[in-house]
Amino acid sequence: MNKSHIDIWNNCLQIIKDNLPPVSYKTWFEPIIPLKIEKNVLTIQVPSQFFYEYLEEQYIEILRKTLRREIGAEAKLEYYVVMDNASYTNGKPHTVRYPSRNKTEINNKPLHVPFEATQSSIRNPFIIPGIKKVHFDPKLNSDYNFNNYVEGECNRLARSAGVAVGNNPGGTAFNPLMIYGDSGLGKTHLAQAIGILVKEKHPDKTVLYVNANKFQTQFTESIRNNNKNDFLHFYQMIDVLILDDVHEFAGKEKTQDSFFHIFNHLHQSGKQLILTSDRPPVELQGMEQRLLSRFKWGLQADLQKPDYETRLAILKQKAYNDGIELPDEIFDFLAINITNNIRELEAALISLYAQSTLNKKEITLDLAKSMVEKLVNTVKREITIDDIQKAVCDYYKISVDLMQGNTRKREIVQARQVSMFFSKSLTKASLASIGSHIGGKDHATVLHACKTVNNLIDTDKHFRNQITEIEKRLKI
């Protein structure tokens, strides 16, 4: 007995629900309505074009796997988009029909590199046995390019080095180029942007992006299948190897040993290596010293948390790319309150638009505040004197050491006084404690500083704007 479209979709949902966070499942799958099944094509209804595009971008793989399990290898998906905000005709909303598309087939068209015929005997660990593959796929996401990568103080060195490597892979002193930083700061985006730039400038180069976990799985399978030499030879043919999350090799001695030999072969052959990690080589634990020493051969570039201006630029760039229009006050609110990483910024923007679309609500500041409270956990931590000094020095573009010194230059004295002012108003520290932290001054100096700042706030509009901006950075 043939399954109905409802049964097929419900069976798919059972699998999807087990593999997604509850919030993601509720936001992106509960609103979907199955409409029909015809000749292995399942048609589903979604509430907007943005919704359809987001499903294709984020969840195409799990949709493909579950549908093939239910319908078979020839399964296809078609979307029926109900444009809720569109005009109505005869009391019914206009609808638009979209066949499912594989995002990589659209965006990664220039990135396939065919192998030479003489290399056909080497097993490609990325190809599943029984599936024909004509081109070598570099595994790059075309959205992760330099045009979409916002530059700021937090990433300027790493980005500049990346552009240099992309223009001249293997021909700079940045080999290997190791990009490190906390999760969500854009390491993967930058690494893949370099790969895409290489393909644009040098289409004959073989580029490959691979996560360390995937590399580890392939290595284990090569041992099990007795084709370790094929595995090594495959990676030794790559012109630009991008290995993401290399810290995941910690404690895996045999994998490290294999990568050591691959690294040596590529480096000695003038090939380019690009690595990412959540910390610099000196802090990596469970790694062989001979491997760590090679990580230090080229350039180690860190990615730091983006400052307010960079966060604001990232939000506006993301909104522009997705066709989302928002008032400046909402961009400002998100940039002020979401400070941990870029991934949270982008997720908040998408969630805000999704909530507006699904609930048919206008995007307002109140809606943004409600969304941030639920999804981003904006519990304010206690601000310290050190936090204040750093924020003030960042704003005035001076070093904390300079402000802590005895210089009487006007701009340095003003920064010192502003730090004292905020320390008195935002912390529970005594005047003596504030003075000792900021340049070793006494309590009388702190009192004088606070009085001076208050007077300037009342009389100098430009200075008042400076104080307001610093308050934003301190998330007041």
How many domains are there within the chain?
Answer: 4
Exposure b/e, 459-470, CB count within 10 A at least 16 = b: eeeebeebbeeb
Q: Report percent pLDDT > 90 for the chain.
A: 18
Shared domain check, 144 and 246: yes
Over range 124-153, report the average pLDDT: 69
CATH at residue 355? 1.10.8.60
H or E segment at 409? none
List the CATH number of the domain containing 297.
3.40.50.300
Pick from 256, 282, 302: which residue ends a domain? 302
Residue 324, in any domain of the structure: yes
Place of tokens 């229009």: 325
What is the reported pLDDT for 110? Answer: 29
**Structure tokens that stand for 162 in this block:** 């990346």
The answer as to whether 127 is a domain residue is yes
| Residue 378 counted as domain residue | no
Read off the pLDDT of residues 387-413 as tens digits, 9 standing for 90 and up. 899 999 999 999 888 888 888 888 899
Mean pLDDT of the chain: 80
Higher pLDDT, 345 or 441: 441
Closest CA to 12 of 29, 28, 24, 26: 29
CATH value at residue 83: 3.30.300.180
Q: What is the pTM of this model?
A: 0.54
- For residues 323 and 344, membership in a common domain is answered with yes
- Give the domain extent around 444: 385-473
- pLDDT tens-digit map of 342-383: 877 777 777 777 776 766 767 777 777 777 766 655 444 568
Q: Mark whether 83 and 42 lie in a shared domain.
A: yes
CA distance 412 to 410: 6
Phi, psi torsion values for 273, nearest 5 degrees: -115, 135
Contact between 166 and 193 under an 8 Å Cβ cutoff? The reply is yes
Residue after which a domain boundary falls, among 256, 276, 302: 302
CATH number at residue 416: 1.10.1750.10
176 preceded by cis ω (within 30°)? Answer: yes
SS3 377: coil
Domain boundary among 54, 70, 101: 101
Ranking 96-105, 374-383, 439-448 by mean pLDDT, the lowest is: 96-105
Distance CA 441, CA 354 (A): 52
Do residues 145 and 46 share a domain?
no
Does pLDDT of 435 surpass 50? Answer: yes
Query: Are residue 197 and residue 88 in the same domain, yes or no?
Result: no
Do 317 and 290 lie in a common domain? no
What percent of the chain has a predicted confidence (pLDDT) above 70?
Answer: 84
